[in-house]
Amino acid sequence: MLKNKRVLITGADGFIGSHLTEKLLNLGCSVKAFVKYDKGVDTKLLNILTPEFRNNVMLVAGDIRDPDAVRQAAKDIDIIFHLAAIVSIPYSYVNPREVIETNTIGTLNVLMAGKENNVEKIVHTSTSEVYGTAQYVPIDEKHPLQGQSPYSASKIGADKIAESFHRSFNTPVATIRPFNQYGPRQSARAVIPTIITQALTGNTVRLGSLTPTRDFTFVFDTVDAFIRIAESPNTVGEVLNIGSGTEISIGDLANKIIEIINKVGDKSVSVVFEEGRKRPEKSEVNRLLADVTKAKKLIEWQAKTPLDDGLKLTIQWISKSLEKYNPEKYEI
Protein backbone atom coordinates (compact mmCIF):
# COMPACT_ATOMS: atom_id res chain seq x y z
CA MET A 1 0.00 0.00 0.00
CA LEU A 2 2.93 2.35 0.52
CA LYS A 3 4.50 1.68 -2.87
CA ASN A 4 5.20 4.92 -4.78
CA LYS A 5 4.27 7.04 -1.75
CA ARG A 6 6.34 10.16 -1.11
CA VAL A 7 7.61 9.79 2.43
CA LEU A 8 9.38 12.13 4.84
CA ILE A 9 11.30 10.55 7.71
CA THR A 10 12.57 12.84 10.45
CA GLY A 11 15.51 11.31 12.30
CA ALA A 12 16.17 9.04 9.32
CA ASP A 13 19.82 8.56 10.26
CA GLY A 14 18.99 7.26 13.75
CA PHE A 15 18.82 3.68 14.95
CA ILE A 16 15.19 2.93 14.11
CA GLY A 17 15.03 5.61 11.40
CA SER A 18 17.80 4.04 9.32
CA HIS A 19 16.11 0.63 9.39
CA LEU A 20 12.77 2.22 8.52
CA THR A 21 14.40 4.08 5.62
CA GLU A 22 15.72 0.83 4.18
CA LYS A 23 12.36 -0.89 4.56
CA LEU A 24 10.45 1.92 2.87
CA LEU A 25 12.91 1.93 -0.03
CA ASN A 26 12.40 -1.81 -0.38
CA LEU A 27 8.65 -1.17 -0.57
CA GLY A 28 9.15 1.24 -3.46
CA CYS A 29 8.70 4.55 -1.63
CA SER A 30 10.35 7.81 -2.55
CA VAL A 31 12.09 8.88 0.65
CA LYS A 32 13.08 12.31 1.90
CA ALA A 33 15.38 11.99 4.92
CA PHE A 34 15.37 14.91 7.35
CA VAL A 35 18.51 14.72 9.48
CA LYS A 36 20.14 17.10 11.94
CA TYR A 37 22.92 19.07 10.30
CA ASP A 38 26.55 18.34 11.08
CA LYS A 39 29.63 18.06 8.93
CA GLY A 40 29.02 14.36 8.31
CA VAL A 41 25.37 14.67 7.43
CA ASP A 42 25.95 13.77 3.79
CA THR A 43 27.55 10.44 4.61
CA LYS A 44 25.92 8.98 7.73
CA LEU A 45 22.77 7.62 6.15
CA LEU A 46 24.30 7.00 2.73
CA ASN A 47 26.98 4.78 4.25
CA ILE A 48 24.22 2.53 5.59
CA LEU A 49 22.33 2.29 2.30
CA THR A 50 23.32 0.11 -0.61
CA PRO A 51 24.31 1.94 -3.82
CA GLU A 52 21.06 0.93 -5.54
CA PHE A 53 19.07 2.84 -2.90
CA ARG A 54 21.15 5.99 -2.54
CA ASN A 55 19.67 7.73 -5.56
CA ASN A 56 16.16 7.20 -4.17
CA VAL A 57 16.82 9.18 -0.98
CA MET A 58 16.80 12.96 -0.80
CA LEU A 59 18.84 14.11 2.20
CA VAL A 60 17.60 17.29 3.86
CA ALA A 61 19.83 18.73 6.59
CA GLY A 62 18.21 20.87 9.24
CA ASP A 63 17.00 21.14 12.80
CA ILE A 64 13.60 19.87 13.86
CA ARG A 65 13.29 23.00 16.03
CA ASP A 66 13.26 25.19 12.91
CA PRO A 67 9.63 25.44 11.71
CA ASP A 68 10.58 26.81 8.29
CA ALA A 69 12.99 23.94 7.62
CA VAL A 70 10.37 21.36 8.61
CA ARG A 71 7.64 23.07 6.60
CA GLN A 72 9.81 23.10 3.49
CA ALA A 73 10.76 19.44 3.95
CA ALA A 74 7.09 18.43 4.18
CA LYS A 75 6.16 19.90 0.78
CA ASP A 76 4.87 17.35 -1.76
CA ILE A 77 4.88 14.59 0.88
CA ASP A 78 2.20 11.93 1.37
CA ILE A 79 3.27 10.43 4.71
CA ILE A 80 5.48 11.71 7.53
CA PHE A 81 7.23 9.32 9.90
CA HIS A 82 8.35 11.51 12.81
CA LEU A 83 11.23 9.91 14.71
CA ALA A 84 13.57 12.87 15.28
CA ALA A 85 14.22 13.30 19.01
CA ILE A 86 16.87 13.46 21.67
CA VAL A 87 16.29 10.08 23.28
CA SER A 88 18.91 9.94 26.04
CA ILE A 89 17.44 10.03 29.53
CA PRO A 90 20.77 10.85 31.27
CA TYR A 91 21.35 13.69 28.80
CA SER A 92 17.93 15.11 29.66
CA TYR A 93 19.09 15.57 33.26
CA VAL A 94 22.04 17.65 32.01
CA ASN A 95 20.30 19.68 29.27
CA PRO A 96 16.53 19.57 29.87
CA ARG A 97 15.79 22.69 27.82
CA GLU A 98 17.40 21.30 24.65
CA VAL A 99 15.59 17.98 25.07
CA ILE A 100 12.20 19.62 25.65
CA GLU A 101 12.62 22.07 22.77
CA THR A 102 13.70 19.31 20.39
CA ASN A 103 11.13 16.70 21.38
CA THR A 104 8.09 18.87 22.15
CA ILE A 105 8.47 21.96 19.96
CA GLY A 106 10.00 19.81 17.23
CA THR A 107 6.87 17.66 17.22
CA LEU A 108 4.69 20.77 17.05
CA ASN A 109 6.66 21.88 13.99
CA VAL A 110 6.09 18.51 12.30
CA LEU A 111 2.36 18.59 13.02
CA MET A 112 2.06 22.15 11.75
CA ALA A 113 3.99 21.25 8.59
CA GLY A 114 1.83 18.19 8.00
CA LYS A 115 -1.35 20.18 8.52
CA GLU A 116 -0.27 23.03 6.21
CA ASN A 117 0.86 20.63 3.48
CA ASN A 118 -2.24 18.39 3.75
CA VAL A 119 -0.28 15.17 4.18
CA GLU A 120 -2.23 11.94 4.16
CA LYS A 121 -0.86 10.72 7.48
CA ILE A 122 1.64 11.47 10.23
CA VAL A 123 3.08 8.63 12.32
CA HIS A 124 4.38 10.21 15.52
CA THR A 125 6.87 8.27 17.66
CA SER A 126 6.31 8.11 21.41
CA THR A 127 8.07 5.97 24.04
CA SER A 128 7.13 3.64 26.89
CA GLU A 129 9.01 6.03 29.20
CA VAL A 130 5.88 8.21 29.25
CA TYR A 131 4.28 5.63 31.55
CA GLY A 132 6.99 5.82 34.20
CA THR A 133 7.08 2.96 36.69
CA ALA A 134 4.15 0.65 36.06
CA GLN A 135 1.13 1.19 38.31
CA TYR A 136 -0.22 -2.06 36.89
CA VAL A 137 0.97 -4.63 34.37
CA PRO A 138 0.77 -5.31 31.59
CA ILE A 139 0.69 -1.62 30.65
CA ASP A 140 -2.07 -0.70 28.22
CA GLU A 141 -2.59 2.61 26.46
CA LYS A 142 -4.90 3.83 29.24
CA HIS A 143 -2.16 3.67 31.86
CA PRO A 144 -1.49 7.06 33.51
CA LEU A 145 1.39 9.11 32.09
CA GLN A 146 4.17 10.08 34.51
CA GLY A 147 6.99 12.52 33.83
CA GLN A 148 9.78 10.78 35.73
CA SER A 149 12.56 12.44 33.72
CA PRO A 150 12.78 15.57 31.56
CA TYR A 151 12.95 13.22 28.58
CA SER A 152 9.71 11.42 29.46
CA ALA A 153 8.01 14.75 30.18
CA SER A 154 9.08 16.06 26.77
CA LYS A 155 7.55 13.03 25.08
CA ILE A 156 4.33 13.29 27.09
CA GLY A 157 4.05 16.86 25.87
CA ALA A 158 4.71 15.77 22.29
CA ASP A 159 2.12 13.00 22.50
CA LYS A 160 -0.53 15.34 23.86
CA ILE A 161 0.16 17.92 21.15
CA ALA A 162 -0.31 15.18 18.56
CA GLU A 163 -3.58 14.18 20.24
CA SER A 164 -4.74 17.80 20.28
CA PHE A 165 -4.07 18.25 16.55
CA HIS A 166 -6.23 15.25 15.76
CA ARG A 167 -9.03 16.46 18.00
CA SER A 168 -8.78 20.14 17.05
CA PHE A 169 -7.92 20.03 13.36
CA ASN A 170 -8.72 16.43 12.38
CA THR A 171 -5.05 15.97 11.53
CA PRO A 172 -4.51 12.35 10.41
CA VAL A 173 -1.94 11.45 13.06
CA ALA A 174 -1.28 8.09 14.69
CA THR A 175 1.07 7.59 17.64
CA ILE A 176 3.33 4.57 17.90
CA ARG A 177 4.58 3.93 21.43
CA PRO A 178 7.53 1.51 21.32
CA PHE A 179 8.82 -0.11 24.45
CA ASN A 180 12.58 -0.79 24.66
CA GLN A 181 14.18 -1.38 21.28
CA TYR A 182 17.37 -3.18 20.32
CA GLY A 183 19.23 -4.47 17.28
CA PRO A 184 22.08 -3.66 14.88
CA ARG A 185 23.23 0.01 14.70
CA GLN A 186 21.99 0.98 18.16
CA SER A 187 24.26 3.45 19.94
CA ALA A 188 26.25 2.81 23.09
CA ARG A 189 23.87 4.92 25.20
CA ALA A 190 21.38 2.01 25.16
CA VAL A 191 21.70 -0.82 27.66
CA ILE A 192 22.06 -3.78 25.29
CA PRO A 193 25.00 -2.37 23.28
CA THR A 194 26.52 -1.25 26.60
CA ILE A 195 26.42 -4.81 27.92
CA ILE A 196 27.57 -6.42 24.67
CA THR A 197 30.55 -4.14 24.07
CA GLN A 198 31.82 -4.51 27.64
CA ALA A 199 31.36 -8.29 27.58
CA LEU A 200 33.16 -8.63 24.24
CA THR A 201 36.14 -6.49 25.18
CA GLY A 202 36.68 -7.07 28.90
CA ASN A 203 35.91 -9.18 31.96
CA THR A 204 33.54 -6.77 33.70
CA VAL A 205 30.15 -5.34 32.72
CA ARG A 206 29.44 -2.14 34.66
CA LEU A 207 25.78 -1.16 34.95
CA GLY A 208 23.44 0.97 37.01
CA SER A 209 20.43 -0.60 38.74
CA LEU A 210 20.11 -4.29 37.92
CA THR A 211 16.58 -4.95 39.20
CA PRO A 212 14.38 -2.82 36.86
CA THR A 213 12.60 -4.83 34.18
CA ARG A 214 12.17 -3.89 30.54
CA ASP A 215 10.19 -5.17 27.55
CA PHE A 216 12.55 -5.50 24.57
CA THR A 217 11.52 -5.60 20.90
CA PHE A 218 13.84 -6.33 17.97
CA VAL A 219 14.08 -3.39 15.60
CA PHE A 220 12.86 -5.30 12.52
CA ASP A 221 9.59 -6.07 14.32
CA THR A 222 9.25 -2.41 15.30
CA VAL A 223 9.77 -1.25 11.72
CA ASP A 224 7.01 -3.63 10.65
CA ALA A 225 4.72 -1.93 13.19
CA PHE A 226 5.55 1.51 11.76
CA ILE A 227 4.57 0.28 8.29
CA ARG A 228 1.32 -1.30 9.46
CA ILE A 229 0.31 1.81 11.40
CA ALA A 230 0.96 3.98 8.35
CA GLU A 231 -1.07 1.71 6.10
CA SER A 232 -4.09 1.18 8.36
CA PRO A 233 -7.01 3.64 8.35
CA ASN A 234 -7.92 2.28 11.80
CA THR A 235 -4.97 3.96 13.52
CA VAL A 236 -5.79 7.63 12.90
CA GLY A 237 -6.17 9.35 16.27
CA GLU A 238 -4.95 6.26 18.10
CA VAL A 239 -1.98 5.40 20.32
CA LEU A 240 -0.54 1.90 19.97
CA ASN A 241 1.87 0.15 22.31
CA ILE A 242 4.58 -1.82 20.52
CA GLY A 243 6.37 -4.37 22.67
CA SER A 244 7.03 -8.07 23.09
CA GLY A 245 4.68 -8.60 26.02
CA THR A 246 7.52 -10.13 28.07
CA GLU A 247 9.87 -8.57 30.61
CA ILE A 248 13.39 -9.24 31.85
CA SER A 249 15.46 -7.55 34.54
CA ILE A 250 18.61 -5.70 33.53
CA GLY A 251 20.69 -8.10 35.63
CA ASP A 252 19.17 -11.17 34.00
CA LEU A 253 19.57 -9.55 30.58
CA ALA A 254 23.28 -9.01 31.23
CA ASN A 255 23.73 -12.63 32.30
CA LYS A 256 21.86 -13.85 29.23
CA ILE A 257 24.09 -11.80 26.90
CA ILE A 258 27.23 -13.04 28.67
CA GLU A 259 26.01 -16.63 28.32
CA ILE A 260 25.39 -16.21 24.58
CA ILE A 261 28.83 -14.66 24.07
CA ASN A 262 30.50 -17.43 26.10
CA LYS A 263 29.00 -20.08 23.84
CA VAL A 264 31.40 -18.95 21.11
CA GLY A 265 34.30 -18.19 23.45
CA ASP A 266 35.74 -19.01 26.86
CA LYS A 267 35.98 -16.03 29.19
CA SER A 268 34.76 -15.12 32.64
CA VAL A 269 32.69 -11.94 32.75
CA SER A 270 31.20 -10.47 35.91
CA VAL A 271 28.41 -7.92 36.31
CA VAL A 272 28.99 -5.10 38.78
CA PHE A 273 26.92 -2.14 39.95
CA GLU A 274 28.33 1.34 39.30
CA GLU A 275 26.77 4.23 41.21
CA GLY A 276 27.42 6.78 38.46
CA ARG A 277 25.21 4.87 36.03
CA LYS A 278 22.20 4.81 38.36
CA ARG A 279 19.21 7.05 37.70
CA PRO A 280 18.03 9.43 40.44
CA GLU A 281 15.81 7.50 42.87
CA LYS A 282 12.51 9.16 41.96
CA SER A 283 13.37 9.01 38.26
CA GLU A 284 14.02 5.29 37.95
CA VAL A 285 11.39 3.34 36.01
CA ASN A 286 11.26 0.05 37.87
CA ARG A 287 9.03 -1.98 35.58
CA LEU A 288 7.88 -1.86 31.96
CA LEU A 289 5.76 -4.58 30.38
CA ALA A 290 3.61 -3.91 27.33
CA ASP A 291 0.01 -4.86 26.70
CA VAL A 292 -0.13 -5.07 22.90
CA THR A 293 -3.76 -6.15 22.62
CA LYS A 294 -4.66 -2.98 20.74
CA ALA A 295 -1.89 -3.43 18.16
CA LYS A 296 -2.96 -7.03 17.59
CA LYS A 297 -6.54 -5.89 17.03
CA LEU A 298 -6.02 -2.77 14.90
CA ILE A 299 -2.99 -3.72 12.77
CA GLU A 300 -2.64 -7.48 13.38
CA TRP A 301 0.86 -6.94 14.74
CA GLN A 302 2.88 -8.82 17.30
CA ALA A 303 6.59 -9.23 17.90
CA LYS A 304 8.03 -12.24 16.07
CA THR A 305 11.69 -12.27 17.08
CA PRO A 306 12.53 -14.16 20.31
CA LEU A 307 14.91 -12.26 22.58
CA ASP A 308 17.68 -14.86 22.28
CA ASP A 309 17.54 -14.74 18.47
CA GLY A 310 17.57 -10.95 18.37
CA LEU A 311 20.45 -10.78 20.84
CA LYS A 312 22.52 -13.18 18.74
CA LEU A 313 22.00 -11.03 15.64
CA THR A 314 22.86 -7.89 17.60
CA ILE A 315 26.00 -9.46 19.09
CA GLN A 316 27.12 -10.55 15.62
CA TRP A 317 26.72 -7.02 14.25
CA ILE A 318 28.40 -5.29 17.19
CA SER A 319 31.30 -7.76 17.20
CA LYS A 320 32.06 -6.65 13.63
CA SER A 321 31.58 -2.96 14.45
CA LEU A 322 33.47 -2.49 17.72
CA GLU A 323 35.39 0.44 16.27
CA LYS A 324 32.14 2.42 16.55
CA TYR A 325 32.03 1.97 20.34
CA ASN A 326 34.10 2.92 23.39
CA PRO A 327 33.24 0.32 26.06
CA GLU A 328 35.26 2.17 28.72
CA LYS A 329 33.13 5.30 28.44
CA TYR A 330 29.67 5.74 29.95
CA GLU A 331 27.70 7.26 27.08
CA ILE A 332 24.78 9.53 27.92
Q: What is the pLDDT of residues 294-303, one digit of tens each?
A: 999 999 999 9
For residues 295 and 302, the answer to whether their CB atoms sit within 8 Å is yes
pLDDT in tens, 271-286: 988 888 887 877 789 9
Closest CA to 177 of 263, 242, 244: 242
- Report how far residue 330's alpha carbon sits from residue 194's, in angstroms, rounded to the nearest whole number: 8
Q: Is the four-CA dihedral 27, 32, 37, 42 of positive or negative sign?
A: positive
Whether 38 shows a pLDDT value over 80: the answer reads no
pLDDT at res. 327:
84
Q: Within 13 Å and on the Cβ side, how many CA atoms surround 136?
A: 6
* Rounded-to-integer distance, Cα 90 and Cα 96, Å: 10
> If you average pLDDT over each of 160-174, 187-201, 252-266, which comes out highest?
160-174
- Helical (H) or strand (E) element with 21: helix 15-26
Tell me, what's the pLDDT at 328?
Answer: 78
136 pairs with which residues across the strands?
none
Give residue 264's pLDDT band: very low, low, confident or very high (50, 70, 90).
low
- Residue 332, pLDDT > 70, answer no
Q: Of 216, 240, 193, whose CA–CA distance to 303 is shortest? A: 216
180-182 and 216-218 beta bridge pairing: parallel
The Cα–Cα gap between 272 and 213 comes to 17
pLDDT of residue 281: 76
Whole-number Å distance between alpha carbons of 277 and 70: 35
pLDDT at position 41, please? 63
Distance CA 276, CA 110 (A): 36
Segment 200-224 shows an average pLDDT of 95
Model pTM greater than 0.75? Answer: yes
Round to whole Å and give the CA distance between 197 and 199.
5
pLDDT band of residue 65 (cuts 50, 70, 90) is very high
Q: Specify the CATH number of the domain 6-186+217-245+288-305.
A: 3.40.50.720
pLDDT tens track for 89-138? 999 999 999 999 999 999 999 999 999 999 999 999 999 999 999 999 99
Judged by average pLDDT, the poorest of 19-33, 152-166, 176-190, 257-271 is 257-271
Q: What is the mean pLDDT of residues 40-51?
A: 72
Question: Rounded distance, CA 95 to CA 296, Å?
Answer: 37
In this structure, of 48-52, 207-211, 302-306, the range with the lowest mean pLDDT score is 48-52
Task: Look at 7 and 269; give whichever has higher pLDDT.
Answer: 7
Amino acid at 167: R
- What's the pLDDT score for residue 150? 97
Split at pLDDT 50, 70, 90, the class of 166 is very high
Cα 297 from Cα 319, distance rounded (Å): 38
Evaluate if residue 321 carries a pLDDT over 80. yes
- Render the burial of 139-164: b for 16+ CB within 10 Å, e for the rest: bebebebbbbbbbbbbbbbbbebbbe
pLDDT of residue 100: 98
